[in-house]
Amino acid sequence: MGYAMEELVPIVGKLAERYAACGHTSMPYGQAEQLMEAVLYCVHEAETWGGEGAVLDRELSAQEAYEAGMACVEAKAKEALALYNTISQEFDHYGNCCLHDVFVKGMPEFFKWYDMELCPQDTILTLDYPVLKDISASTGIDKIYGYLVCLSIEQKFLHLFPEGHVREVLRRHDSQYEDMAENICEVMLTNIVGHILAGRPLAENGGFRKEDYQKMQDVWGGDRQQRLRGKLMEALSALLQGYGEGGSQALDYFSKTVDNILARLENAVGYGALPNLFP
Amino acid sequence: MDGNWMVLLQRQNQLGKVIETNNATAQYGLMLSEQDAELILEERGHALREQRRVEFGEGIAPKIIHQFCDSDFIDQNNYVDTIIRLQEIFYLYKNEMDDELTDDELLHLMKEQFEEICFGDLDYLEGTCLNLFSQAVRAGYQGYQRSEGHGEYAKFDEVQRWDYDLYYKALKELFWG
């Protein structure tokens, strides 16, 4: 960010005047800092809008960069709202309260209270339902938009399976899955990996048997982790073919989780705890 | 975050605005020299730092001056000191009342108490009157929004200010034995 404080302060001053319009000529440091953060957030938005590493034309003054950033924030908020409405049409929380509360109760409140002028950096929600991508570095509409993109990928993935099947897998994973604060897709992916390793069709439900665990152990012993990863990604890719557009984005989104599952698999094989991982 | 930018934000305020108040205060025999105005603004800076606040626009000093210039308890001798002290009290109670009151509401409240309850005693204004009222505001009282800060203190006063019975009794004793 190449702007000197002297250039940014007048912008904060203008925002502060809006506060003054409410009958105040002074404010606590905390509030003034919040306004400065709002300005920096917008300037940063202007610098990065249009993809990773996009850089703003340096000829712009701080005021112009701020205004461009504000427009970006507004556009992103509209895009996020449109995405939310799209997801809402077929949204299913599968009985999980955490996902239900974030999406059904929390998101509308975010769009209701989000103040893109005085506090665009405020995420407002705690986003308790964990997604499979680390979005902890972003805040405000960036974080909400990123979160909704994750939920959109997840919902598409979960819709590949009948609702009853998803609920059954969740129930076997945790009998109180309604209250669990875990990612549903991760549970489903773990189950899929188990089926692939055991050589059983996905449609076959009812839990894993002793011989399945033996087979998993044999496959793990025969294959090196990298080879196994390749196989699993291939299978996942085949599964996501029904995804249509965005299939590669989804594959990329889930690939880290496959790595996590493999790490847990290695541990489970080492300690004879496969039934815990694949109930 | 580097706090220097807050100093820059405050520099927008102008000395001229304070000196301009002389036009209105002259009729009450109150005048500020340029040094007086500089002192007021310097002390304003200290008070703001102490209360961890940042001021913008023309600031509160001209408003305080306009509000208090017709006070019975301010004359040229105590003018500058009183304004400085009122500034400190103002920022203190903006914080104490969580910015719930607007500047005007707080100034009305201060002026009324300064004149009618404290009779010019700034310590009493700061330590008792505003303290009591700020407790009520923090507890959720919002009646000042309707009254704009006028006639509010009596609702929370813990002291009986004027006892008519006692007054008449004393009057009778004095004049009719």
A21 to chain B, any CB pair closer than 8 A? The answer is no
**Confidence grade of residue B76 (pLDDT, cut at 50, 70, 90):** very high
CB contact under 8 A, A23 and B105: yes
Give A-chain residues touching B60 at CB under 8 angstroms. 25-26
The answer to whether the predicted template modeling score (pTM) of the entire model surpasses 0.90 is no
Q: Give, in order, the Cα–Cα distances in Å from B136 to each of A271, B83, B87, B97.
A: 63, 26, 22, 9
* A22–B3 CB contact, under 8 Å: no
Cβ neighbourhood burial of B118 (10 Å; 0-12, 13-18, 19+): buried
Does the interface ipTM go beyond 0.90? no
Query: What digits encode the pLDDT tens for the residues A116-127?
Result: 999 999 999 999
A16 and B CB contact within 8 Å: yes
Do A12 and B104 make contact, defined as CB atoms within 8 angstroms?
no
Over residues B79-92, the pLDDT tens digits come to 999 999 999 999 99
| pLDDT tens by residue, A58-73 | 578 888 889 999 999 9
